[in-house]
Amino acid sequence: MSVATSEPRTESARTPRGAALLLRLLGSNWRSGRLTVLLPNGETHRLQGPEAGPSAVLQIKDYRFARRVLANGDIGFAEGYMAGEWDSADLATLLETLVDNYDHIRRLFDGNPLMIAVNWVSHRLRRNSRRGSRKNIHAHYDLGNAFYATWLDPSMTYSSARFTSGATDLQAAQTEKYASLARLMDLRPGQTVLEIGCGWGGFAEFAAREVGAHVTGVTISQEQHDFARQRLFEAGLADRADIRLMDYRDVQGRFDRVASIEMFEAVGREYWPTYFDKVRSVLEPDGRAGLQIITIQETLFEEYNLRTDFIQKYVFPGGMLPSEERLAPVLDKSGLRQTNIERFGLDYAETLKQWENRFMGAWPEIRRMGGFDERFHRLWRFYLAYCQAGFRTRRTDVVQLVLSPS
């Protein structure tokens, strides 16, 4: 049984009905860890669960926050943070604590059925057709190379690192991620490799320089395309790397290997067969594909599929995470078989923690660029902390897997 206590000041103002309801819903079935809620009127409410877990503080600054949550659930919770209506000294730990208790307090974070429907329809309208994909990718990746350069590591890598050797240096861990994927797919000198979603060219440079492969990278982000081409030219690797502004569906030819690092999440569920059919069609008969994909627990997939979350609404429009179990039949129908898989979700939590620290440190410089206001600042901080919580609690994971023609 959860224990809820309150410590009001003697002359505190009356707690509004919406905030009181929010507190009751939180405290009615709190199970894990400790949550301290600070109200604008000076009251302190503490929730202590019977199970061990992290300790976090939620400071409510504006009672309008409660109305947002009651109306729009977890998305309203994020919107309240973006509006400055609540705060926490350790945002990632707060979100981890809430995620640990989600199954017991989900009534609070479900929100109004009408808002659930509105958000779901809005997300489904952001289909990843050729035109839709360009629009969705532009919304996130074309914020500007200068923006990402302020807080990514010097390799300009925007995907999970691998801290396999125990090292904490982010750039070294990103290089290890590239190396591990190359090893898993047995990438060799002289082979041709197609990279679907080449980002700013980090893996292309690694594969061309360190392995000696010939890389064709495709992206539909103009900013990434221009940066990657210049990067490989300046590295003296233009003869081994061809970066194209192209949708993966339009790629022709055959390749010894196919690589794709955290691009699959942007494909969209209805296009999963199209994606794997393309991978199969461009692979040589004895070829291999090495993919890095963020996954969600199978037990959460159906609910996730029927709702829209904060990430889909504000960060990655059109995005959709698969579970490992949902991938299996799609692979089989495409004529592909999985031959190896490695999971390293806690490495992603560490990657995100370092990104958050770097983003916060770079914020004064980002703000001076123009076009990035305080709401944007809080949205991105929430996004980085939100993802940390998912990987810490293992509701999400990240895998590197190898596919071969069956």
- Are 56 and 94 in contact by the 8 Å Cβ rule? The answer is yes
Q: What does the alpha-carbon distance between residue 26 and residue 29 come to, in Å, rounded to a whole number?
A: 7
Q: Is 198 a catalytic residue?
A: no
> Helix (H, G, I), strand (E, B), or coil: what is residue 317?
coil
**DSSP letter at 323?**
P
DSSP line for 42-98:
S-EEEEE-SEEEEEEEEEE--THHHHHHHHHHHHHHHHHHHTTSEE-SSHHHHHHHH
In the structure encoding, which two tokens stand for residue 391, read together? Answer: 């990987």
Closest CA to 204 of 180, 226, 229: 229
- Are 247 and 133 in contact by the 8 Å Cβ rule? The answer is yes
Task: Give the Cβ contact number of residue 374 at 10 Å.
Answer: 12
Read off φ and ψ for residue 174, nearest 5 degrees. -70, -40
In the structure encoding, which two tokens stand for residue 236, read together? Answer: 């003296």
Closest CA to 265 of 336, 217, 322: 322
Catalytic entry in 152, 291, 387, 401: 387
Catalytic residue numbers read: 387
